[in-house]
């Protein structure tokens, strides 16, 4: 099974925008928010995916993740089955020294204005750059999981 190794941070300011190479609109909803697994439907611009994530382990840094591309039509239909309103966000991609930060600026619900940066790593002990806009680490804090927002 594929393992996702990821760390999350709050973002202190908008300086990440100057460093971004790309951005995309994302809408995602959850078909399951079970504490042991989540099932997510995501539309990124004109692409769609279904993702199953297992319960986090190792202080929230790692978990099983399986993601598959699905048709845009299927994704739109599955959105109508989601447990709550979909999350809408703009994702900025920032490459620094061969590491990719994904910075999400949330657009709706009670999360408007929330900005979270994520970085996927090869190992839990990987060293990575920490740009000036990176704030407090929130890895493993359930209240910052997208499924809880």
What CA–CA distance (Å, rounded) separates 91 from 105? 6
Beta bridge partners, 33, equal: none
Whether 30 is a known active-site residue: answer yes
Q: Kindly name the residue from 9, 28, 29, 30 that is annotated as catalytic.
A: 30
Q: Which are the catalytic amino acids?
A: 30
């Amino acid at each position: 099974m594929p393992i996702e190794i990821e760390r999350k941070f709050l973002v202190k300011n908008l300086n990440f925008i100057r460093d971004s190479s790309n951005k995309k609109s994302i809408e995602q909803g959850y078909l399951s928010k079970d504490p042991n697994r989540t099932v997510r439907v995501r539309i990124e611009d004109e692409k769609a995916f279904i993702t199953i994530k297992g319960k986090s382990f190792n202080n929230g840094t790692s978990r099983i993740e399986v993601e598959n591309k699905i048709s845009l039509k299927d994704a739109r239909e599955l959105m109508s089955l989601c447990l709550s309103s979909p999350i809408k966000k703009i994702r900025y991609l920032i490459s620094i020294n061969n590491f990719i930060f994904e910075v999400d600026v949330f657009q709706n619900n009670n999360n408007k204005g929330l900005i979270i940066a994520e970085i996927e790593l090869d190992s839990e002990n990987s060293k990575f750059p920490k740009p000036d806009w990176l704030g407090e680490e929130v890895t493993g804090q359930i209240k910052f999981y997208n499924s809880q927002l």
